[in-house]
Structure 1
Amino acid sequence: MYPWLFLWAPQLQLPFSGDVAQRIEPRTQWFFDGIDTASGDPVIERKAFEVATYGRQLGLITELLLDMAAQTPPRTRAGREARQRLQKIQAEIERIKAEDAAAQVEMVEAGLRRLKARHRPEYEALRARLQQALAAPEAAP
């Protein structure tokens, strides 16, 4: 009722009840912030990642290593066991990729069936666009 009394009102702040400062902008470079500055340059790592992801790099190294091991088999038991483990890992990764591709195909087919049943004009337009896209020569990756 008496606004001038607020000058004598005590201000009590319990723990964690003070002013809050929060960054709202999304951090999209968190992966590269985890790279130790002593082990490499995060800027160069980011640029290298744009050329080939770590998965692509490891995939190429695995393919080359297994090819070389097929030409010159490892001489030690530990080397042969490591080659077998690497082959199992590669096979498991290929299985995961194949399952993902099959799931993607199934999802696209289900979407097309739904579109055909519920939105026939849009389905026909998409069908024409897909036929045109499939007929066009494929660009090199």
Structure 2
Amino acid sequence: MFRAPLSGDVAQRIITSWFSPSLTVNYAGDPAVEDRVVAEVASFGKQLGWLTEIAIALARTQPVPAETLGRLEKAARDIAVIKEQVGVSAVGAANDALDRLERHDRAQYDNLLRERRSAK
């Protein structure tokens, strides 16, 4: 089988300003978490659809659809893992930044630590 360049299967997000119109999403929470949730777990539309389906069943005093509830529970577990990973990553990034500041400008490093301690 002949395949031209770039004609194979693609399983990655392609985000470029020239490929599609610009879209800015203002997340209410942590943008790093929100972006990963949408990319790796489920779109906002899917999540809202699951919640809507469950809410309607409850409002009609009908059984909650087991498959939908299972999807929502799995999403909740996956989101908890992402939040943990992003939190660990943020702590690592903060430590790295503090280490760089300490190496390059000890006086600013000391001032920053003093300010943060006095702010509490």
From the CA coordinates, give the structure whose radius of gyration is larger. Answer: 1
Which range, TM-score by smaller chain?
0.3 to 0.5
